[in-house]
Chain A
């Protein structure tokens, strides 16, 4: 574990600390509301919640520039929000409405906004890793800019071939990629100790000749510091880093998951260490957050999400014929 969290945190100014806190709160509130709406059957399909993992998106993505890229996962709401997505268009997408980010063609699991640099949440585990590799190639080998790519995936993805191919590829071409393994202890229903024999997933980077670091993924300042170093290194041409952010998936794999593979007591114990409460303690100790400010941040987030839900509910569904649009830029007139 990095020991630099507190040091890093001390260097951060008040505005930055509050930005991290507010980002985490906005994600939490969005996710809680999405869960509720799903249970009310207002959201079709499946949704995968980021509750308990907010510190990772906040700690990494708030440091990215607008022109930096990220690739996300099936559990991608938090990444989108942290990169600056509008909750109204996100919620509309979750509802399958025409005003959604993907006009109702992607849904929760495939939400994306290329203009924000979000190259897609992805329904395939590790699906974003090759995509990140390609964006890294374009940046370093063709466009020669100082953009970086943050590539998010879960512990399950580290058992996919794409992970191993992608890490090696990034090392070989020294690509500006920050790989972020969100180690939330479960790959769908399988626990990490059942599926991996190494203690730290970060050690897998050694096999490809670059640095891997394990951090407490529920400590936003520790994530922030590891990400700061990795982003700086990538931007300066120093190549990739693997950050393993150890966290815990406080909710089921998806909303409605019967969770036969773990005990309620295990989940309960983990709630003690959830990242928002922990950060509130740190902020309170440093007198960086007054109770008033804290209440305001929560009520702002709740109002924002309430507006998003209102927007999504009021938005129309897409016309049926829209199903035939957007496959190609230049329509071939082929037999749809």
Chain B
């Protein structure tokens, strides 16, 4: 077991799989020489000089080329620089990567990994802060991972790099520097298996990415008041682990979904709808969704804090649901 940063865990997974599979190559903007815009790929170029490639700022080709590379027998790992810039090449992703296999009647495979940073970082404003994972859950054709820990990003990326289908992995900018234990022995984490980060009996919090950490912090605060939250880290959205969520809700009778992406039609709505369809009789309260307010992420710190959810939003939501206002200290 070694304590590793989230960023180093990504590089370790890439290096291990590139060592084994000469058809894996990775490319994107500021990737090779700079080692990533956040320095998250430091050292990767040295190990694989020919297969870590800086590209022009040409998102439509960055994404669309993955289809051609995959069909020509390679495993492209495409870095999207900022999730916000997925939109500039969205046609290539949605109309090509996510559809070609299906439209071809199942010919061949498309082992494509799209990965890169998403989410807010202090005052990056609306063109560098978006969390867009729900869009890729909504449109069929790609598997979606959104890991919260170094071990998870390592294990899920390893699975993606040895899989057969397109995968998109969202790595929260504010998580790159966090440290966590990652086993020294190689391992793979299957898609569709949630992790219960904290067991509890009063309310189920379903979260991903940075909001897992915010939900855990909120749970610790609430525990002081004797409130026991169960925190489920979904880890992947396509597929998502319905069984673990339903089992938890059947136990706690209460569900709050927690994500940084917009509350309106965010993935929390899909979880909420599924739970009311399949576990309505177990619910003791309406499902609540925590998510960003439905405006673009503003620049100025007090504006951004007003819009973006954090642990205090979770604490408030749980207390409201349980009818237990905060103690006056």
Contacts and interface: CB of A to CB of B under 8 A. Distances in A.
Interface of A: 69, 71, 100-106, 110, 112-115, 119-120, 122-124, 127, 129-139, 141-143, 147, 149, 161-162, 165-166, 168-169, 172, 325-330, 332-335
Interface stretch (B35-43, B104-112, B248-256, B258-266): B104-112
A206 to B, nearest CB: 18
B241 to A, nearest CB: 11
Interface in B181-227: 191-192
Contacts of A330: 163-165
Contacts of A147: 72
Contact of A141 (B53, B67, B73, B143): B53
B23 interface: yes
A287 to B, nearest CB: 43
Contact of B107 (A115, A131, A137, A165): A115
Nearest to B65: A134
Given A142-B74, A143-B74, A136 B25 contact: no
B50 interface: yes
B91 A133 contact: no
Given A330-B163, A330-B165, A124 B96 contact: yes
Interface in B85-104: 91-92, 95-96, 100-104
B10 interface: no
B120 to A, nearest CB: 28
Interface of B: 22-23, 25, 27, 50-51, 53, 55-56, 58-61, 63-74, 76, 91-92, 95-96, 100-109, 140-141, 143, 163-165, 191-192, 238-239, 242
A162 B60 contact: yes
Contacts of B22: 142
Contacts of B74: 137-138, 142-143
A39 B69 CA distance: 38
B25 A142 contact: yes
Nearest to A102: B105
A333 B65 CA distance: 28
A103 B91 CA distance: 24
A137 B26 CA distance: 11
B105 A135 contact: no
Which of A113, A168, A326 has the largest count of B CB atoms less than 10 A from its CB? A326
21 contacts: A101-B104, A102-B104, A104-B105, A112-B100, A112-B103, A114-B71, A114-B108, A115-B107, A124-B96, A130-B96, A134-B64, A134-B65, A134-B66, A135-B68, A135-B72, A137-B65, A166-B60, A325-B106, A326-B105, A327-B141, A332-B238
Contacts of B92: 127, 130, 162
A124 B239 CA distance: 28
A143 B103 contact: no
B72 A139 contact: yes
Which of A69, A131, A143 has the largest count of B CB atoms less than 10 A from its CB? A131
A133 B66 CA distance: 9
A112 B104 contact: yes
B104 A114 contact: yes
Contacts of A124: 91, 95-96
A330 B101 CA distance: 12
Contacts of A130: 60-61, 63-65, 67-68, 92, 96
A316 to B, nearest CB: 15
A329 B109 contact: yes
Given A102-B105, A143-B74, A325-B106, 9 more contacts: A102-B104, A120-B104, A130-B68, A130-B92, A132-B68, A135-B68, A138-B69, A162-B91, A334-B192
B56 A168 contact: yes
Which of B65, B102, B163 has the largest count of A CB atoms less than 10 A from its CB? B65
A171 B108 CA distance: 28
B100 A120 contact: yes
B61 A166 contact: yes
A329 B105 CA distance: 11
Contacts of B140: 327
Nearest to A172: B56
Contact of B191 (A112, A136, A332): A332
A77 B92 CA distance: 22
B33 to A, nearest CB: 15
Given A141-B53, A169-B55, A327 B66 contact: no
A8 B62 CA distance: 38
A131 B65 contact: yes
A120 B103 CA distance: 9
B100 A137 contact: no
Given A131-B96, A141-B25, A328-B143, A105 B105 contact: yes
Contacts of B76: 134, 138
Contact of A138 (B59, B68, B104): B68
A124 B184 CA distance: 46
Given A134-B66, A142-B25, A162 B61 contact: yes
B107 A114 contact: yes
A177 to B, nearest CB: 10
Nearest to B92: A130
A135 B51 CA distance: 15
A130 B109 CA distance: 18
